[in-house]
Amino acid sequence: MSNGKGYTELIAPATHYSYWLFCSCYICLFYFNRYYLMPGFFIPGRYGGYAAMAVALCTGIFFLQPFDRLLRQKWAVPPEGAEWVYVPPVIDITSLFIFFMIMALGAAITTTRRWQLTEQRALTAEREKIRAELSFLKAQVHPHFLYNTLNNIYTLALTKNNYTADSILRLSNIMRYITDDVIADYVPLPQEEACIRDYIALQQLRLRPGTVDYQVSGEMEHKLISPLILMTFVENVFKYGISKHLPVPVTIRLSIKDHQIDFFCCNRIFREPAPVNSCGVGIANTRQRLALLYPQKHVLDITTDNNLYTVRLTLLTD
């Protein structure tokens, strides 16, 4: 059986065995390192045990020589009657190189995955922190807002004003918006504008006609905004910029552009705003919400020149 055909038939089974040895050896090595050695030894800091296991695996690869077996046949079955030929072992550099590459790949994947999980946990914790802060800030806004509105309706009831029922309906709309919609970080702009409009209507009931100049321009559809982000400024207009003796008008503007929302309000200062710490609400809370929800996407400018309290707020939207 010295012809090529006979020799091929003899070594074919051995070559098939070498192929499966090569594949199973490195596949098992990868998963063993990835799911047992890395989480069981390396990550907990048991570096000595990991090194000992790696040396043992490397020794096994050195003697098995899976790549060299696959590349050329060393233990081919000789023809019948032929003598066995001893082939001295050689160092299979390629098998060792693949071994270190497989070990490094498993370590890299495990390390990257753990880094991603750590980053994900950090981002989740940060989001929860922001959500908790926003919930706290909103909880501060709601009682103060409702307190002022109920005082106004109480005054209407005492004077038996015909608009008392309409005022209660508007307050109901506002309370529904506050309790149901402001849970989200962002709401449709038309809902926010409707809340502002109802609030202004409630305040106008006790004011002279023409005191409030409120105008809205632009298309509000498909625009989102943080709920009650504008209410602090609107509330301050009526809290500090209205006089019972002087008919001084106040101006409130809301302008919507393609990727921008502009808010403007201006009123004369009749009362100095109370310190933030005394009431628990105010501009400081609004600044915090803007910083949390509109990082690098807002401009807030507040001036008190010429005894006029002016607020200009620009929000950039997607």
Block means of pLDDT (10 residues each) for the chain, 318 residues, are 41 58 84 86 84 87 77 54 53 80 87 85 69 62 68 82 84 81 80 90 75 91 88 83 74 93 90 45 77 89 89 92
> For position 9, what pLDDT does the model report?
39
Would you list the domain boundaries of the chain? 17-135, 140-316
Looking at residue 297, its pLDDT comes to 92
Phi, psi dihedral angles at 250 (to 5 degrees): -120, 150
Q: For 243, how many CA atoms within 13 A lie in the half-sphere containing its CB? A: 11
Largest pairwise CA distance in the chain:
125
> What's the pLDDT score for residue 189?
93
Contact indicator for 233, 311 with CB cutoff of 8 Å: yes
What is the value of pTM for the model shown?
0.56
pLDDT at position 91: 67
* CATH 3.60.20.10 fits domain 140-316: no
* Helical H segments across 33-163, by residue range: 47-64, 66-71, 93-158
246 burial type by CB count under 10 A (0-12 exposed, 13-18 middle, 19+ buried): exposed
Alpha helices in 220-267 (DSSP H): 231-240
Least Cα distance to 211 among 233, 171, 240, 242 occurs for 242
Q: For residues 143 and 147, what is the distance between their CA atoms, to the nearest angstrom?
A: 6
What pLDDT score does 12 carry? 41
